[in-house]
Structure 1
Amino acid sequence: MIAIQALRAYNLFYFSLLSVFISFLPVYLSYRAVSPSDIGLLVGIGSFIGILSQPFWGMISDRRKTIKKVILLTLGLSLLVGFVLFQSSELWLLFLLVGGMYFFMLPTDPLTESLNYRVAEQYGIHFGSVRTFGAIGFASASLIIGFTVDQIGMDRLYWVFAVYGVLTYLMCLVIPDAPVSSKRLSAADLRRFLTYPATLRFFLLILLAAIPHRTNDSFLGVYVQSLGGSTGLIGLAWFVAATSEIAFFALLPRFLRTGREIKMIALASAIYVIRYALCAVVSDPMLVIAIQLMHGITFVTFYTASIQYLYRIIPEEWKATGQTVLAVIFFGISGIIGSFAGGWVFQEWGGAALYLMMAGIALLAFLYSILMWKREEREAETLAGEA
């Protein structure tokens, strides 16, 4: 299956490129003397732009009935903007370029996930067998980039971004496009989907769990630095987190069954609470790095179960758009809240207080997921009784 091998290679390089943006953008901004509150403002504004751009590109993908061609466009523009971003230092220009990256780069992620899921379905393989290579890319790149930047300097990060970017684009040229639905798109279907009570409850759960997750994305590197860690250790933290994904992408198909998604989300939310609480109480950057081993079971379980649940309830012709709505909440709205609030809390009270706040929000997500779990059980019993 050459098409699957090409898709796996694309995932390897794409998520390597994404690690430069997600893992090292806040560190680069800190290097350019941007304060934690301004970092939060930059990422928050970027996330707001992402809220607008992700549905836009998702709708284009659905209407044009192609994912690959849209990725080629957004990825190519991301490479141009990012190459300039990682050479810039003026705050006004950073605001402009970070906004550009969120407009083009952020929508590429849900489109890639949708491509992975649908091609995997077409070839009869599990989504995780493709997405694992993304985790490998993110992990290896995080480690390589962290220690490389220690040697060449943060001011040359743009060359690292360019190398991974070119490799990603070349692989994108040879991947297969996703199979598309022949059904006509209907705005009424989407409105019904977005206003259906079960969907609204599900999206609220996603938001609660995603706020601390996205806050961690924005401030993990800054927190490690505040504890005395080097850029190399920041890369090691992301390497440990991403490496833990690999094992869980391989193991999850054995446990994640249709109809059990909310249970798995509840489990992930509980472990999120423990993870962030532990980060709040330690003061050694190496211990923070070790705690990132929990990232695999939290993120992989939560996100994969969320995608599976979404694809179970969404109309076929809106799958790419539905994936985008999920990404808007997970990476957009939650990113705005987490970045703005996280930057302010970090600057006023420090990183430990921030992680304690994140544990509290994750606890709310856990409690709410339990309520959804029990509600689903009652509904299933009611349906069984009627039958």
Structure 2
Amino acid sequence: MFVLTSFNFLFYAVYSIIIFFLPLYLRAKGLMTVEVGLVMATGALVSIFAQPFWGIISDRKKTVKRILLLIFFSAAIISIPLFLANNFLLILILMFIFMFFLSAAVPLTDSLTYRYAQIKRKNFGSIRSWGEIGVAVSALCVGLLIETIGIRYLGFIYVTLVFILLGLTSLVSDVENKVEPVTKEKVLHLFTNTKVIWFLFLVLLIAIPHRMNDSLLAIYLADLGAKESHIGRAWTVATLCTVPVLTGMAYLIRRFNEFALFVIAGFMYSLRWILYSFATEPITLIIFQIMHSLTFPVVFVSAITYLVRIIPDELRATGQTMFAAIFGGVAGIIGSSVGGWIYDFYSPQAAYYSGSMLALIGALASFLTYLSLVKDRRSKVGKSRKHEVL
């Protein structure tokens, strides 16, 4: 378990560098905010088909570890010209190739962790929380480091850490999962399952402003006068606050039901973004980052728990990569590109206000869906009791 928790810690520490600091790095190269948004959206675009692709390969080959080793090595090599490039079009192309590999690492890592937790009867949230601790440490340390030596060294920091991650990944054990073989028919059925597709649409509505914030927060803070270390602190506050929530999610799900928690988190997201729209100083945004603990970990764990319940075991990695493709892919495209456009041509306040309204629509739609599920469940229970009486 120590190796797996260490792997989660280092992987999310490395991955967070791309999410938190790449937008700032690209802006330092002279790209406009809208161009930065398009680059981040390009990464999200490729993840839409790359994540399910690698998920299907993982399910068919019955291995996550070997796929992750291939992904990390390829991403490390491609990241070198990505960080060296100065032309917008070249950066766009290299980002596309880079994210074809790296984007699938998150759902595959979570799939490996979830399988281990189920088989070993461990708390998934507790293991996954080490990933959040890794994000917090990375955000703080990398923020301080690039403020000291300059953001131009971000690529060197990233590549060095990825090769260390490769060595640690080689120590992780694949978790055996003896399930039925994956067929084309089963995969097609999953992609046309209306229950799954509707839930992923609800995820999309809530995820769009989340992904917008991932791309714009560093720029928003910088425009308010923040230094690189402040940006690191903002994400450190956000991620450290999620640790107790992730650890307690197993209890909360048993107590309240995962879909109900998903609905509550949707409303909290809406409140979070409306508060961001009123920020006038960096410290205000940093304080508001505490609300990350009441939104992302709740949506993340409750969504995965719900999908695991409605998706066959043999397609679990595929299902989780579908979730990641929506949350990080489709939502990333819309959130990064449209959010960047609103930011440049209107204001950051307008971008976050729009995000709040969209999250509110997603929360309301999720609430109506939850009521429908409760009604159907009660109807089935009533019919079952009536049948027993007869």
Query: Is residue 213 from structure 1 mapped to residue 178 from structure 2 by the alignment?
Result: no
Pick the aligned partner of 1:133 from 130, 145, 153: 130
CA shift for structure 1 position 367? 0.3
Q: Which residue of 2 aligns with 1:73?
A: 70
TM-score by length of structure 1 reads 0.97
| Cα deviation digits, residues 30-71 of structure 1 (max 9, x gap) | 111111111111111221111121121111111111000000
CA shift for structure 1 position 347? 0.6
Identity of aligned residues (%): 32
Q: Which residue of 1 aligns with 2:155?
A: 158
CA shift for structure 1 position 178? 2.4
CA shift for structure 1 position 259? 7.8
- Structure 2: which amino acid aligns with 1:280? S
Separation in structure 2 between the aligned mates of residue 223 and residue 178 of structure 1, nearest angstrom: 42
CA contact (8 A) 2:123 2:247 kept: no
Query: Is residue 122 from structure 1 mapped to residue 119 from structure 2 by the alignment?
Result: yes
Query: Is residue 112 from structure 1 mapped to residue 109 from structure 2 by the alignment?
Result: yes
Pick the aligned partner of 2:307 from 307, 310, 313: 310
| Cα deviation digits, residues 297-350 of structure 1 (max 9, x gap) | 200000100000000010111111111111111110111111121111011111
Q: Which residue of 2 aligns with 1:12?
A: 9
CA contact (8 A) 1:41 1:340 kept: yes
| Cα deviation digits, residues 127-171 of structure 1 (max 9, x gap) | 112101101100000000011000000111122112321221111
TM-score by length of structure 2 reads 0.96
Pick the aligned partner of 2:285 from 261, 285, 288: 288
CA contact (8 A) 2:44 2:330 kept: yes
Q: Which residue of 2 aligns with 1:253?
A: 250
Tell me the secondary structure at the aligned position of residue 31 of structure 2. coil
Tell me the secondary structure at the aligned position of residue 379 of structure 1. helix
Q: Where do 5+ consecutive residues of structure 1 fail to align?
A: none
Equivalent residues in 2 for 1:327-346 (5 A)? 327-346=324-343
Separation in structure 1 between the aligned mates of residue 53 and residue 314 of structure 2, nearest angstrom: 16
Q: Which residue of 2 aligns with 1:99?
A: 96
- Structure 2: which amino acid aligns with 1:232? S
Q: Which residue of 2 aligns with 1:359?
A: 356
Q: Where do 5+ consecutive residues of structure 2 fail to align?
A: 385-390
Query: Is residue 169 from structure 1 mapped to residue 152 from structure 2 by the alignment?
Result: no
| Cα deviation digits, residues 95-130 of structure 1 (max 9, x gap) | 122112211111111111101100111111011121
| Cα deviation digits, residues 193-248 of structure 1 (max 9, x gap) | 33233222211111111111111111111111111111111111111111111121
- Structure 2: which amino acid aligns with 1:12? F
Q: Which residue of 2 aligns with 1:271?
A: 268
Between stretches 51-60 and 108-117, larger displacement belongs to: 51-60
Q: Which residue of 2 aligns with 1:39?
A: 36
- Structure 2: which amino acid aligns with 1:322? G
Pick the aligned partner of 1:379 from 376, 381, 386: 376
User: Could you say what the CA RMSD is over the residues aligned between the two structures, in angstroms?
Assistant: 1.3
Pick the aligned partner of 2:199 from 199, 202, 222: 202
Q: Which residue of 2 aligns with 1:325?
A: 322
Query: Is residue 148 from structure 1 mapped to residue 145 from structure 2 by the alignment?
Result: yes
Between stretches 96-105 and 295-304, larger displacement belongs to: 96-105
Separation in structure 2 between the aligned mates of residue 146 and residue 301 of structure 1, nearest angstrom: 26
CA shift for structure 1 position 20? 0.7
Tell me the secondary structure at the aligned position of residue 158 of structure 1. helix
CA shift for structure 1 position 80? 1.4
CA shift for structure 1 position 188? 2.1
CA contact (8 A) 1:207 1:330 kept: yes
CA shift for structure 1 position 258? 8.5
Separation in structure 2 between the aligned mates of residue 350 and residue 46 of structure 1, nearest angstrom: 24
Q: Which residue of 2 aligns with 1:90?
A: 87
Pick the aligned partner of 2:365 from 365, 368, 376: 368
Q: Which residue of 1 aligns with 2:25?
A: 28
Q: Which residue of 2 aligns with 1:223?
A: 220
Tell me the secondary structure at the aligned position of residue 281 of structure 1. coil
